[in-house]
Amino acid sequence: MAARDKRPSARRLASRAAINLILGAICVAWLVPTAGLLVSSLRPRELIALSGWWEAFRAPLRLTLDNYVNVLSRANMGASFVNSLVVAVPGTLIPMAIAAYAAYAFAWMDFKGKEWLYLVVVGLIAVPIQLTLIPVLRMFNALGVTGSFLAVWLAHAAYGLPFSIYLLRNFIGQLPPSMLESAFVDGASHPTVFFRLVLPTSLPAIASLGIFQFMWVWNDLLVSLIYLGGTPDVAPMTVTIANMVNSYGGGWEYLTAAAFVSMALPLVVFFSMQKYFIRGVLAGSVKE
């Protein structure tokens, strides 16, 4: 009897070990590429080209920050870091502010044409931005704003709007009607209700959306590549790195450090606000 009880549990133990082993192997495989790049970025230039990054752990240990110093001072990465911030922060704030207004209007105001206007917004979520590149570029050229931050801000704002409105409307539309109605009865105006009531209660949704949009803009290559026109002094990090790859090819002492500089901020954001980020991902795809 006892032996019979033991056998399934032994089998269970084996299967549990197998699950841990397989998942562990997958996770290691997933982390190795990034870890390898990080280790390489800390090795002296001549060693990167000479031996694999795993040799770095062999004595004598020779690690250095030279690659980071070089890439930040000489390869334009310092300025590009600032450019990425200048692109991404307004590129996040503008669409969110505008989307919050629209979401509030869609959720709590009645007007003619509301239904079809919202359908246009939902329809635009899945439209590839490639469809807009040529006319928008011609428009920017005609206005003389190609290569300016204003151009990328407006473009990112517009491209981020459909999804932002959709996400925020779902959230704002679920607020209890009694809460808003009692405020209106007390004589509050729409702006007061929006800023004092709706905005503070929507903070979790706004945080998720903000992180999402920020990551999207920070990591974007195409929009900056096209509307900033490849001028080095306005190029964000993604564009600068892409140019480095094309011109240096295997200049790994630059590329490894540059890639890591560009990853630093998203990784910090991800680890400190993982909960909100994942909530944003979930809200974006599990519709309804």
Partner 1 sequence: MRLVSLLAAVALVPASLAAYVYAAEPILARSGRGGKRAGARPWVWLAPTVALLGLFLVYPIVETAILAFRDARGQRFVGLENFARVFTDKAMLVVLRNNLAWLVFFTAGTLGLGLLIALLSDRVRWEPLAKASIFIPMAISFVAAGVIWRFMFEFRPAGEAQVGTVNAIASALIPGFEPKAWLFDKATNNPALIMVGIWMWTGFAMVILSAGLKGIPTELIEAARIDGAGEFQIFLRVILPLAAPTIAVVATTLMINVLKVFDIVYVMTNGALETEVIANRMYKELFNFRHFGRASALALLLLFAVAPVIVMNVKRYKEGSARHGSAR
Could you tell me if 274 and 211 are in contact, meaning their C-beta atoms sit under 8 angstroms apart?
A: no
- Contacts of residue 203, Cβ cutoff 8 Å, sequence gap at least 6: none
Among residue numbers 9 through 28, which ones bind partner 1 (CB under 8 A)?
Answer: 15-16, 19-20, 22-23, 26-27
Minimum distance from CB of 25 to partner 1 (Å)? Answer: 11
> Nearest Cα to 71, choosing from 275, 216, 261?
261
Among residue numbers 167 through 196, which ones bind partner 1 (CB under 8 A)?
Answer: 173, 177, 184, 189-191, 194-195
Does 50 participate in binding partner 1 (rule CB under 8 A)? yes
- The smaller minimum CB distance to partner 1, of residues 6 and 191, is found at 191
**Within 13 Å and on the Cβ side, how many CA atoms surround 2?**
0
Among residue numbers 211 through 250, which ones bind partner 1 (CB under 8 A)?
Answer: 215, 218-222, 225-226, 237-238, 241-242, 245-246, 250
Could you tell me if 69 and 206 are in contact, meaning their C-beta atoms sit under 8 angstroms apart?
A: no
Query: How far is the C-alpha of 169 from the C-alpha of 164, rounded, in Å?
Result: 8
Q: Mark residues 252-281: x for contact with partner 1 by CB under 8 A, - for none.
A: x--xx-xxx-xx--xx-xxx--x--xx--x
- The smaller minimum CB distance to partner 1, of residues 3 and 126, is found at 126
Binder of partner 1 out of 111, 142, 178, 186 (CB under 8 A): 111
- The smaller minimum CB distance to partner 1, of residues 72 and 98, is found at 98
Q: Cα-flanking dihedrals φ and ψ of residue 47, to 5°?
A: -75, -35
Among residue numbers 69 through 98, which ones bind partner 1 (CB under 8 A)?
Answer: 82-83, 85-86, 89-90, 93-94, 97-98
Angle made by CA atoms 84, 90, 93, in degrees to the nearest 5: 130
Task: For residue 157, give the H/E element and its range.
Answer: helix 149-172
